[in-house]
Amino acid sequence: MRLAGRERLGFYSLPIPEAERIRRFLKFPDKPCCALDPCVGDGAAFAEITSDKKVLRYGVELDVGRAEKARAKEIDVIHGNCFDVQCPVESFSLIYLNPPYDFEISEEKSQRMEKLFLEHVYRWLKPGGILVLVVPAKRVADCTVLLSRHFRDIRVYRLREPESVRYGQVAVFGVRRTRQERDRLRDAEIIQAQLWLASIEREVEKLSSLPLEPDHLYAAPPGAPCVWFTAGFP
């Protein structure tokens, strides 16, 4: 099946109560900042997570009907395939990523979509910018190398709404490291983070569920409006 078809079939929207709890973990700056949802769907969850008048919202959505619904929520949406979208690096203060839960299959290899999406979009996040990644717990292990090297202050919470429990979802919060922070990382720190992240699937029942009141605040840095463009779409 083509990648576009798999993206459409693998979309699962985040329940709004989960989005409301995620929002409480985020502190937005007094100046404007930009936020991105690369799989924005109808925009309902993203609009809740970024409910601040100074947040400029951007999204990508493959399905035309969902894209129109997201635009109605004041989200600047590109209708197309996220992997055809090009964007200057370090453009966004926040990326909320709830990717399709499926495989990308080619003649050469098969990879999880969660990993592919994260690899494609994380460079668009500013140093100090916030990543909120919603994936099944068993897929966190696929992202351990990238998360351990490029993100700090990582916290993982078990989601608890019925639909979230059905798919075994967790919310991963992290702050993108600066180049200097990456250069100072010791191998032992990377290995420790990778082992912990790889254990999430086995230890998911021991994770704290996403609380009503946050036990940590993630402050998004300010930033100018994003300028992006696509290849292959009108």
- Average pLDDT on 199-213 reads 93
Cα 101 to Cα 136: distance, rounded to the nearest angstrom: 8
Residue 157 has pLDDT above 80, yes or no: yes
Quote the mean pLDDT of the chain: 89
Cα 18 to Cα 171: distance, rounded to the nearest angstrom: 9
- Average pLDDT on 152-171 reads 95
Please, what's the b/e burial string for 144-154 (b: 16 or more CB within 10 A of its CB; e: otherwise)? bbebbebbbeb
- Average pLDDT on 192-210 reads 94
DSSP states along the chain: --HHHHHHHT--PPPHHHHHHHHTTEE--SS-EEEEETT-TTSHHHHHHT--TTEEEEEEESSHHHHHHHHTTT-EEEES-GGGEE--SS-EEEEEE----SEEE-SS-EEEHHHHHHHHHGGGEEEEEEEEEEEEGGGGGGGHHHHHHHEEEEEEEE--SHHHHHTTEEEEEEEEPPHHHHHH--HHHHHHHHHHHHTHHHHGGGSPB--SS-SS-EEPPP-PPP--EESS--
- Average pLDDT on 83-95 reads 94
Cα 33 to Cα 25: distance, rounded to the nearest angstrom: 16
Instruction: Tell me the pLDDT band of 132, cut-offs 50, 70 and 90.
Output: very high
Following CA atoms 175, 177, 178, 184 in sequence, which dihedral angle do they give, to the nearest 10 degrees?
Answer: 150
Could you give the number of structural domains in the chain?
A: 1
Instruction: Name the residue range of residue 23's domain.
Output: 3-227
CATH number at residue 212: 3.40.50.150
Please give the pLDDT value at position 109: 54
Question: Quick check: is 95 in a domain?
Answer: yes
Question: Quick check: is 117 in a domain?
Answer: yes
Question: Quick check: is 33 in a domain?
Answer: yes
- Interval 39-57: pLDDT, tens: 999 999 999 999 999 999 9
Please give the pLDDT value at position 231: 59
Please give the pLDDT value at position 1: 35
- % of the chain residues with pLDDT over 90: 79
Question: Quick check: is 234 in a domain?
Answer: no
Question: Quick check: is 70 in a domain?
Answer: yes
Q: What is the pTM of this model?
A: 0.91
Question: Quick check: is 232 in a domain?
Answer: no
Pairing relation of β-strands 125-136 and 92-97? parallel
